[in-house]
Amino acid sequence: NAGVTQTPKFRILKIGQSMTLQCTQDMNHNYMYWYRQDPGMGLKLIYYSVGAGITDKGEVPNGYNVSRSTTEDFPLRLELAAPSQTSVYFCASSAGTSVVNEQFFGPGTRLTVL
Amino acid sequence: TQLLEQSPQFLSIQEGENLTVYCNSSSVFSSLQWYRQEPGEGPVLLVTVVTGGEVKKLKRLTFQFGDARKDSSLHITAAQPGDTGLYLCAGDQSNFGNEKLTFGTGTRLTIIP
């Protein structure tokens, strides 16, 4: 199993450009998450999904959109990139089948907006 | 306002020393997890504590969940360079399982050989 994979690993955007961060998991997990991590900080939840067709906002959703058309894929869309969106983005998944669920993280996408 | 505060934010100690990292909140959590993150990688789960007062050991790492389930600590005995990394606590406030986690501010630990 590859676990959680993210593409691209690095990206530089100009202000106002758009892009989609891809996330795929092969563990048949129901729950998927997008976080951002600013330098030296913890993780902040952007959006999450508890199953295909279901998404919900996290702590910092403004400027982002998501979709969950399949169990495996959970892409994150930035429509009008801003310097404040410069960060490292992590996708995660969990089984969601027990009281305590481990979240499995991808390797991250480092995004710079200039 | 950060729901989970970790202290210290940075810690640099010599190999062989002991250390304790704290994770504090004014909110009650149904469970609390500790993750370690190495540079350029995503966080990896170390342990989950569920019961108030629970103590779990993972080799040289000892994790404790506060009696009121509002705080937790991580104690490392005889630290080694391989313990270097960012340590994150994460709390779950739901009753039905880990739908969402709230992550702490993180403690960046450096062990000097």
Q: How many CA atoms lie within 13 A of B2 on its CB side?
A: 16
- For chain B, the structural domain boundaries read 5-112
Segment B78-105 mean pLDDT:
86
- Residue A41 sits in a domain of what CATH number? 2.60.40.10
pLDDT range class, residue B100, cuts 50, 70, 90:
confident
pLDDT digits over B43-56, tens only? Answer: 999 999 999 999 99
Residue A4 and residue B42: Cβ atoms within 8 Å? yes
Give the pLDDT confidence score for residue B96 in this predicted structure.
Answer: 59
Which range marks the domain in which residue A94 is found?
4-113
Contacts of A1 (CB under 8 A, 6+ apart): A26, A27
Segment B62-69 mean pLDDT:
96
| Minimal CA separation from B43 to chain A, in Å | 6
Q: Measuring CA to CA, how many Å separate A56 from each of A47, A63, B85?
A: 6, 14, 31
Give the pLDDT confidence score for residue A105 in this predicted structure.
Answer: 96
CATH T-level topology, domain B5-112: Immunoglobulin-like (2.60.40)
| Minimal CA separation from B77 to chain A, in Å | 24
Q: Quick one: which of B76, B109, B75, B72 has its CA closest to B90?
A: B72
What part of B 48-107 touches A (C-beta under 8 Å)?
48, 50, 88, 90, 92, 96-106
pLDDT range class, residue B42, cuts 50, 70, 90:
very high
Residue ranges with strand state E in B1-113: 5-7, 10-14, 19-24, 31-37, 44-49, 55-58, 61-65, 71-76, 85-92, 102-103, 107-112
Segment B74-94 mean pLDDT:
93
- Residue in chain B lying closest to A3 (CA): B42
Place of tokens 């305590």: A100
Give the pLDDT confidence score for residue B95 in this predicted structure.
Answer: 64
Q: Quick one: which of A25, A26, A15, A18 has its CA closest to A83?
A: A15
* Domains contained in chain A, number: 1
Which of the residues in chain A have pLDDT under 70? 97-100
| Closest CB from B31, B42, B101 relative to A90 | B42
